[in-house]
A and B are shown apart, each in its own frame.
Chain A
Amino acid sequence: MSDPLSLAWNVLTTTPAALAAVGGVAWGILGGALPGISPSITMALLLPFTFAMEPVVALVLLVSTYVGAEYGGSIPAILIRTPGTNAAAATTIDGYAMHQQGRGGEALGISLVAGVIGGLIGIILLVMLAEPLSNVALLFTPPAYFALGILGLSVIATLTEGSTLKGFMAAVIGLLIATVGSDPQTGVMRFTFGRPELMDGIPPIVVMVGVFAVSELLVQAGLPPWRQTDRDTRVKLPSLRLMWRCRRALGIGSGIGAFEGAMPGAGGTIASFMSYNEAKRWSKTPEEFGQGSAEGIAAPEAANNTVTATTLVPTFVFGIPGSNSAAILLAGLLMHGLLPGPLLFQKYPDLVYGLFGGLFVANFAQLPIGILIMTPLIWLVNRPKPYLLAFIYALVLSGVYSVDGSIFHVALALGFGVIGYLFRALGFPFLPLVLGVILGYMVESNYRRALQVAAGDHAIFIDDPVSAGLLFTAVLFVGISLWRNWLHSRKASSAEAEMKAG
């Protein structure tokens, strides 16, 4: 019983992982269907409760939530022209047009089936790529691990939305948060202010629930009520003929989703919009796009579901999550004392392949669950917003307390909620901050270990070829990003000057 398939089967039949996959999908569809509640927030709400679970069950639950949320996001996108998730925004165009033509159920069916196909293609790629790539990580020494952390932070800081400068500031703040608690080398206390709760540092889970979930609640408090969803819609599965007609769009969506998912910082939103454009470009009937085209739904939905699987490649291989949702999954991994990289595949193959098996079950479970829970789901998301927010708030407060029974951590999560709110208001991205918190320990401990070996000589980071290559790539990324920003601002000012002259 040591081949990947047997390992996955063993986990799925001897643990509640399959049940977690089904539950996660249902929870994810519900979260995704609530406008403003992104997949990462849906996962963050669940994260504290996974603390006491068996690692493989916890991870399957989280990843299934991600899968479900991507489909859930398309429900309000199709029915009320309000995407439940950012990645579902492209689905709004043709999905809502179909709904206006009285074909909302068909649009939901196409979204569901396209998502399942995209997700399955993503899993195949994940299984093929993850383990071979993880062997590359065997070449890594402490300087290389430090450089990898710096590369991850640089890529995320430069690629996430908003200004590069603010992205770097967010990453530095994340690294600073990670320095709270006892020093990894000497045990000396840092920034603990005499609080025993801070001696072990600030758990990334508390930061994540704060910046994702609490800040969203604070934002939602000031927004108008959500629009009501059409109560009578039922999912109508598309015919095989229709799906065959969409094969090109499905291929484009899955291809782009696979590539974007494996790239840190890209994520489902870019993938779904890119695949929508490409599917339109390569379609035999591009004139139907925007008027209720099945291909216009199939391409973005296949893309964002492929991303749910391929985004796990950089997360599992190098510990660099490509999106907010992958960052939460990484936090779930670290929370159970598991480190990503080749050792994860060697020491815990049952966990890795059990997770892949759970992902597979979650993708298939989407179909029946998506159909079965549609009516209660629509009833639930149509409840008055004040009560929905109140229950989510209660869930957040209960969840954070359950991590280690500390009301201090609840207060901290609320504090990080305010920081998240300020970040949103001032245009700072979240992901670099979260990544800084997650990677902080790896960056600092390897930096200091490397310098200890080299008797304080920083040349060790250049002498090590892997480290030098990674640091060079980081510099290249930052350089290209700054150059692109400079070009953009020059173009903007020349356009402004032309407007004034005109």
Chain B
Amino acid sequence: MGKDLASGIGMLALSVVVYFGASGIGTSYMSDPIGPAGLPKMLAIVLGGLAVLLIAKSSIELFKARRRAPIEPSESKWRRHLLAAGMFAIGGAYVLIAEVVGYVVGIVLVILATALYQGAARSWQAPAIAVGGAVSFWLLFVVLLNIGQPEGLWSRLLNSLGV
């Protein structure tokens, strides 16, 4: 299946989900002629229409190209997607742990995990750079610029005890 055909089908499915999702939006006595659900429904219909056009266009192109040798996705392409998925997982893990372990430990882990995942040498340097980096970030954002970052369980506990 071609990329465009897959995109078209995906977008069509999304438009159906949005349309039915919009049908569940409540109303208000202050409602205007369009109402709160009006625009989302309209956009869902437009998206659906565009998706159908994309499906039709890509189907015709696929039909025309049926005699050409099919282009198989290369192994390196899948490897790239897998590497991207791993990178996303590191960010996802930070979201899950940041408010438990706190900013500095969270960032140490993000830097360390990302660097090792991307092929940094497994030596004492990696954790040292991660700790140095996280402390620098903390000094810059939290101490110097006074920009709030996740506090972590221990920090919250100490704060609640007034320490």
Contact = CB atoms under 8 A, between A and B. Distances in A.
A414 B141 contact: no
Interface in B1-41: 3-4, 6-7, 11, 14, 18, 21-22, 25-28, 30-40
Interface string A100-136: 0000000000000000000000000000000000000
**Which of A183, A387, A407, A455 has the most C-beta atoms of chain B within 10 angstroms of its own C-beta?**
A183
A30 to B, nearest CB: 15
B95 A219 contact: no
Nearest to B18: A176
* Chain B interface extent, by class: 35 or more
Contacts of A414: 88, 91-92, 95
Contacts of A191: 21, 25, 40
Contacts of A444: 39
B43 A175 contact: yes
A188 B134 CA distance: 42
A385 interface: yes
Interface stretch (A65-73, A86-94, A227-235, A398-406): A398-406
A410 interface: yes
A166 B7 contact: yes
Contact of A165 (B37, B54, B90): B54
Given A188-B25, A190-B40, A191-B40, A402 B80 contact: no
A477 B31 CA distance: 34
Report whether over half of chain A's contact residues are helix, strand or loop; otherwise say mixed. helix
Contact of A402 (B32, B47, B149): B149
A185 B33 CA distance: 11
Contacts of A418: 88
Contact of B46 (A172, A393, A410): A172
The interface residues of chain B, by DSSP majority, are classed as helix
Interface in A180-220: 183, 185-191, 214, 217-219
B84 A183 contact: no
Given A176-B43, A398-B147, 15 more contacts: A186-B30, A191-B40, A386-B115, A394-B133, A394-B134, A395-B137, A401-B148, A407-B99, A410-B94, A411-B92, A414-B88, A414-B91, A427-B3, A448-B32, A451-B32
Interface of A: 49, 52, 163, 165-166, 168-169, 172-173, 175-176, 179, 183, 185-191, 214, 217-219, 221-223, 384-387, 389-391, 393-395, 397-398, 401-402, 405, 407, 410-411, 414, 417-418, 421, 425-428, 444, 447-448, 451-452, 455-456, 493
9 contacts: A169-B47, A169-B50, A175-B39, A179-B40, A183-B36, A191-B25, A394-B110, A401-B148, A401-B150
